[in-house]
Amino acid sequence: MDKRLFVALVAACVAAGCSGEKAGSHSPSAARAPVATGDDTVAAVSQSGASIAALRFAVVTKPAVGAQSDLRLDLFAEAAVPELLVQAEAEAITVDPATAKASVAIEAGKTASHTLRITPRREGLTRVTVRLRSGADGAESVYDIPVLVGAAGG
């Protein structure tokens, strides 16, 4: 396994698994407790060479089978990117079509965010693939976001 992918997987597992709830807590609200806030982001794993924008992500709500969760994507670029097309897809996760595709503008040196609404279909470690495409020249960057999915209702 590629060392960068391994490091990102471990970081994502820690972020997804550290919701702050006590062991044995099984209330529905505890299963959906917020996991990440503010600058609590992890770098996505680049699957392509040069990147249009850096991609970091935060697990906003702990992913569980059959439960809707949010993944916040934070996109950063040194130079302005007036039109960045964001497209997300996954095999073991349903990405809400209303959030799977978006057009985002990034100001030079600033961060722009987009939130994906996901519903995992099976427990375990899986990934969401995010493609970033420049509207200006068609250049593309591909990132993988590892997602650790818990059991339904747990």
pLDDT score of 137: 80
pTM summary value: 0.74
Per-residue pLDDT of the chain (154 residues; tens, 9 = 90+): 444 544 444 444 444 444 333 333 333 333 333 334 356 899 999 998 778 899 999 999 999 999 999 999 999 999 999 999 999 999 999 999 999 999 999 999 999 999 999 999 999 999 999 999 987 787 899 999 999 999 997 6
- Rounded Cα distance between 57 and 74, Å, is 6
Whole-angstrom distance, CA of residue 44 vs CA of residue 57: 7
Structure tokens at 22: 């006590």
d(CA 85, CA 53): 11
Q: What is the DSSP letter of 6?
A: H
Predicted pLDDT of residue 154: 62
DSSP state at residue 151? P
Alpha-carbon distance of 15 to 79, in angstroms, equals 29
Which tokens belong to 151? 């059991």
Q: Which domains does the chain have, with CATH numbers?
A: 3-149 (2.60.40.10)
Chain-centroid distance, C-alpha 81: 20
Contacts (Cβ under 8 Å, ≥6 apart) of 96: 68, 116, 117, 118, 119
